Amino acid sequence: MPVMQLLDPAFARELEALRRRLRVRARSGAGGDHLARRRGGSAEFLEHRPYAPGDDLRRIDWLAFARTGEPVFKLFRSEEDVVVRLLLDVSKSLTAGEPSKLAVGKKLAASIAYMALADSERAQVMTASDGELRTREPTRGRASLPNILRELDALKPHGGTDLTAAIDAFVQRSVRPGMLVIISDFLDPGPFDQAITRAAAAGNDIALLQVLAAEEIDPPYEGDLALEDAETGAVVDVTVDARAVDAYLARLAALVTVLRELAKRHRATYVRVSTREALLPAIRRFIARSVDA
Amino acid sequence: MSGLELLNPRGLWLLTAAVPLIVFYVLKIKRQRQAVPSTWLWAAAERDLLAKHPFRKLIAEVPLVLELLAIALLTLALARPAIRGGTIAGDHVAIVVDTSASMGTASHAPGAAAGATRMAEARAAALDVVFALSPGADAILIDAGREARVTSPLERDVRRLRVAIQSLSVNDVEGDLGAAVALAADRLRTLSGGRRIIVITDGALAHPAPLAPAGVDTQVITVGDAEDNTAIVRIDVRQGEDPSTKREQAQVFALVRNYGARPVDAFLTLTLEGRTEPVTSRRVLLPANERVPVVLTFEPQETDRGKGIVVQLSPGDALPLDDVAYGRVPAGERMPVTLASQAPYSWVARALDADPKVVLQRLTVDQLSTVNVDPDALVVVEGACPDKMPGHDVLIVAPPVGDCLGLGVLAAVDQPQITSWETGDPRFRFLTLDGVHVARALPLRTEGPGAALVRAGNETLVADASAFGLTMTLVGFDPGESDWPLKASFVLFVRNVVEIARLHRAQGTVGPVRTGEPLRIVVPRGVTSLRVDGPGMAEHELTAKGGLSIIPSVDRAGFYHARWSAPHIGEALIAANLTSELESDVRPRAVVLEAAGGSASAPTARRTVDAHHEWATAIAVFAALILALDLVWLTRRARPRLARTEASPQRARP
């Protein structure tokens, strides 16, 4: 996939308008351009408070002390350096769909990376396959966008899905929390919800972007089929009729419910994207930090 | 044209094949492989369904529907649906109805009345043919018994044809369908317009040679079902001797055949004509499709001699006719011989007296016309040649000059030297005439080879004047005027003549008679008129000539009685039997037509008048097309269906 297809100019202009509304709830611990909720030492004044022993004398408002005779300590809004980590599932199951789920996932990752880099944040691309986590170095600034796009473009589907192992590996390796955007179909029988809970407990701002193919949302199959798993090659004999499709959809709805409840519990974002859906509304829902129904 | 009829309703059993087909569709499914991103949710969904229902729901899939339709059509084809009736093509139709004995087999066809026979079924089929004749068409009705017989000439009047058809009945004979078809073809050959032969038969033919319709369009209508049958296929009655008691006994040799596929436990019972109590009975185990010889013996009383014997096979079966066989109690071992002689001393009488199994009756020549003589007796006349002689076989010794028994008796010659004799003739068996000297003889004038038995140069000394069934011998010299009586050959000659007469007597008046064949009744030479009655035959008068009277053909098995009153009172009993292994085999066989370049199975329909109205072939072809379509459907390239439209309202999406 050419680089320009991941992020064409018109789409980039839309993202440019949206990027200012992106808010990250995580603390990285390092100073940066991103305004943090906690008070800190940036140049933006927040408020005064009485001096307390041990305070940094350089932050005493000497003009106020001259007028009032009381030492007053100046508080400034802290600015943190936030890392937006894009964990992209590249297992074989993402080859489905037209366009493929992986292509849509790449576009989502590129879009979020663009917004983060444009906001002077750091962005890091990670891939998960067969439980193995592969990470790239975080980059900053618009100049590093082409590198990220090339990295994303070069990704090929391989292996199976094991989100639990990948997320746990991420939690173990990450030194500072940040925003963790997980882009996957979440068609994983493993206990990935527990891994996500552990990632959230580590201070990460979680965003779950579920990419589903159209045939997964509305199965077009009918009759007696031997369904072959794209990842494992396992075969399941299914007689697809109305009842079977209803049972499948009930299972899919249960998976969606798990993801939604998980997002609500950890004040995370959950956006479900169909491969046939336009991408911008999904980006808007992501910016709005919504939880899809 | 009447409604649809199934010629083979048993074919409907094939419909049960739909049950395993549906079971296969429910339990064993050939699945199409489909790649999906993940089977995780599908597997879970399938578990959910299986937890509720062990069997999948039967879906009306295209292959299932096609296969069920094919089974239904094949079932229908196997049941051979046909539209009975219809119009028969042809301006001239010959209806040949098989009236052989096998047509008397009980019929169990659907709708047949109790006790109905194949003949009734054939009559109904023939009536259907008549009613289906096209307007203006005529039909000829031919009775295919032992001899083909035209029952109705070409006729357009349906009522007359119906009467003729109703008059058809089963004959107790072997049928000759080929002769009847040939007769039909011959009758139609000269007619212009469409010609057609319709043969109605049960297919159990005694003469399996291909029918030769001589190019005339021929259709065969079969009647009757396959039936098991047991039959007496041969019977022979002999006079014998009990090896243990050395007493005379009648021995009935019967050959019983079981045509069925299962063994039969049967009884063979012998009764005498006019009596109800059995004389003897024997249990016989008949293996499947095998013949078993059975011997019944009894000691007849003198009054039983010449009476009829009825051998009954029980229990009865589909064809009662061949369960009964008829015979005649043989005469006793002691042979009646009547000697009419004027001579005070007879060398012939002396030789006869020496035979303990001869009962000699001595008469004068004049008494031959007045005294009652046993009709089976050997009559020996010395010195005379009466015109009318009672008894059976005749030996004339030293006849007077003139005509005698159709031969000429010439003037006497002295010292004729015997030069040759017929050593192959049974009368000269085991003897030689070497050294026999004749002092004086009356040479005989013979005509034709073999008539001269003993020759003296060009002269004939002993001649044969036999007729059918009668052995008549002329000796042209008085044994007393030769040295022959002093030699053993004379006694042997007399004994041989007696033995021949005894053999004729044992066989009855005419030997074994089979139905369908001419019945030749041998009577004494002087009988010119006799009265005969028998089964299905009212008593009527027949003429006799030269000691022989002939009934052209007997169509019924049973006893035939012949009686005559002049010149002597006499009677004869003749037993006629079917005894046909081929005719008793009532299992239908394929009827073959003689076609150009070989033989071919005749177009056959069962109880239908026109094979063109049978739909089995067309339906079978249609079923094959459906199966081909099913094959195409099953082997087509799998094309996954496009995703349902987003506007699918019924589907609840997550």
**pLDDT tens, residue by residue, B110-147:** 666 777 899 998 998 898 888 888 888 899 999 998 88
| Chain B residues within 8 A of A245 when measuring between CB atoms | 651
Looking at the partner chain, which of A218, A227, A243 has a beta carbon nearest the beta carbon of B42?
A227
CA distance A108 to A118: 15
The pLDDT score that the predictor gives to residue A36 is 46
Nearest to B38 by CA among A191, A101, A127: A101
Residue in B with minimal Cα distance to A222: B641
Strands B472-475 and B394-397, sheet pairing: parallel
Q: A228 and B35: CB-CB below 8 Å?
A: yes
Q: B646 and A218: CB-CB below 8 Å?
A: yes
Say if residue A180's pLDDT is above 80: yes
The pLDDT score that the predictor gives to residue B645 is 34
Residue in A with minimal Cα distance to B29: A224
| Chain B residues within 8 A of A228 when measuring between CB atoms | 33-36, 39
| Chain B residues within 8 A of A216 when measuring between CB atoms | 37
The pLDDT score that the predictor gives to residue A229 is 87
SS3 state at B422:
coil
Q: A247 and B61: CB-CB below 8 Å?
A: no
**pLDDT tens, residue by residue, A237-293:** 888 888 888 889 998 999 999 999 999 998 899 999 999 888 889 999 988 887 887
Q: A236 and B48: CB-CB below 8 Å?
A: no
Q: Are B443 and B402 in contact (CB under 8 A)?
A: no
The mean per-residue pLDDT over the stretch A167-191 comes to 88
Highest mean pLDDT among B40-54, B227-241, B438-452, B502-516: B227-241
Say if residue B409's pLDDT is above 80: yes
Say if residue B264's pLDDT is above 90: yes
The mean per-residue pLDDT over the stretch A65-69 comes to 88
Q: Report the predicted TM-score, pTM, of the whole model to 2 decimal places.
A: 0.51
Q: How far is CA A121 from CA A9, A112, B101, B399, in A?
A: 21, 11, 114, 160
The pLDDT score that the predictor gives to residue B286 is 93
Strands B378-382 and B335-341, sheet pairing: parallel
Contacts of B556 (CB under 8 A, 6+ apart): B171, B172, B515, B534, B535, B536, B537, B576
Say if residue B75's pLDDT is above 60: yes
Q: How far is B645 from chain A (nearest CA, A)?
A: 9
Say if residue B601's pLDDT is above 60: no
The mean per-residue pLDDT over the stretch A81-88 comes to 85
The mean per-residue pLDDT over the stretch B206-228 comes to 83
Which H or E run contains B116? none
**pLDDT averaged over chain B?**
83
| Chain B residues within 8 A of A234 when measuring between CB atoms | 39
Say if residue A29's pLDDT is above 70: no
Q: How far is A229 from chain B (nearest CA, A)?
A: 5
Nearest to B168 by CA among B224, B214, B137, B127: B127
The pLDDT score that the predictor gives to residue B640 is 40
Highest mean pLDDT among B40-44, B229-233, B365-369, B598-602: B229-233
Say if residue B355's pLDDT is above 60: yes
CA distance A237 to A245: 14
The token duo for B571 is 């009677």
Q: How far is A275 from chain B (nearest CA, A)?
A: 13
Could you count the other beta carbons within 10 Å of the beta carbon of residue A212? 25
| Chain A residues within 8 A of B39 when measuring between CB atoms | 227-229, 232, 234-236
B632 or B646: whose pLDDT is higher? B632
Preferred mutation among B29, B30, B41, B646 to probe A, highest tally of A CBs within 10 A: B41
The pLDDT score that the predictor gives to residue B52 is 56
Q: DSSP code of B618?
A: H
A139 or B507: whose pLDDT is higher? A139
Q: Are B73 and B623 in contact (CB under 8 A)?
A: yes
Q: A247 and B57: CB-CB below 8 Å?
A: no
Q: A238 and B32: CB-CB below 8 Å?
A: no
The mean per-residue pLDDT over the stretch A70-83 comes to 74
| Chain A residues within 8 A of B30 when measuring between CB atoms | 224
Preferred mutation among A94, A229, A236, A275 to probe B, highest tally of B CBs within 10 A: A236
Preferred mutation among A98, A229, A259, A261 to probe B, highest tally of B CBs within 10 A: A229
Say if residue B450's pLDDT is above 60: no
Nearest to B429 by CA among B505, B479, B536, B503: B503
Residue in B with minimal Cα distance to A214: B643
Q: How far is A270 from chain B (nearest CA, A)?
A: 14
Tell me the pLDDT band of B50, cut-offs 50, 70 and 90.
low
The mean per-residue pLDDT over the stretch B551-566 comes to 87
Tell me the pLDDT band of A203, cut-offs 50, 70 and 90.
confident
| Chain B residues within 8 A of A92 when measuring between CB atoms | 37
Q: B37 and A96: CB-CB below 8 Å?
A: yes
Residue in A with minimal Cα distance to B61: A223
| Chain A residues within 8 A of B641 when measuring between CB atoms | 220-222
Contacts of B339 (CB under 8 A, 6+ apart): B346, B348, B349, B352, B360, B361, B362, B363, B380, B382
Q: A224 and B42: CB-CB below 8 Å?
A: no
The pLDDT score that the predictor gives to residue B397 is 94
The mean per-residue pLDDT over the stretch B470-498 comes to 92
Find the chain B residues whose C-beta atoms sit closer than 8 A to any C-beta of A: 29-46, 48-49, 56-57, 59, 61, 640-644, 646, 648, 651-654
Which H or E run contains B631? helix B616-635
| Chain A residues within 8 A of B59 when measuring between CB atoms | 223, 239, 241
Residue in A with minimal Cα distance to B48: A247
User: Among the listed ranges B200-209, B418-427, B500-509, which one has the minimum average pLDDT value?
Assistant: B500-509
Q: Amino acid letter at B290?
A: E
The pLDDT score that the predictor gives to residue B462 is 94
Residue position matching structure tokens 């009918």:
A222
Looking at the partner chain, which of A92, A189, A248 has a beta carbon nearest the beta carbon of B42?
A248
Tell me the pLDDT band of B160, cut-offs 50, 70 and 90.
very high
| Chain A residues within 8 A of B648 when measuring between CB atoms | 218
Q: How far is CA A174 from CA A14, A28, A171, in A?
A: 31, 10, 5
State percent of chain A over pLDDT 70.
89
Q: Amino acid letter at B257?
A: R
A36 or A284: whose pLDDT is higher? A284
Residue in A with minimal Cα distance to B35: A228
Preferred mutation among A224, A240, A241 to probe B, highest tally of B CBs within 10 A: A224
The pLDDT score that the predictor gives to residue B115 is 77
| Chain B residues within 8 A of A215 when measuring between CB atoms | 36, 643
Residue in B with minimal Cα distance to A272: B654
Say if residue B498's pLDDT is above 90: yes
Q: B43 and A244: CB-CB below 8 Å?
A: no
The pLDDT score that the predictor gives to residue A134 is 87
User: Among the listed ranges A29-43, A79-93, B336-350, B620-634, which one has the minimum average pLDDT value?
Assistant: A29-43
Looking at the partner chain, which of A218, A221, A245 has a beta carbon nearest the beta carbon of B34?
A221
**pLDDT averaged over chain A?**
83
Alpha helix positions (H), A54-123: 62-68, 101-118
| Chain A residues within 8 A of B28 when measuring between CB atoms | none
Preferred mutation among A102, A210, A248, A259 to probe B, highest tally of B CBs within 10 A: A248
B221 or B607: whose pLDDT is higher? B221
Q: A234 and B39: CB-CB below 8 Å?
A: yes
| Chain B residues within 8 A of A217 when measuring between CB atoms | 653-654
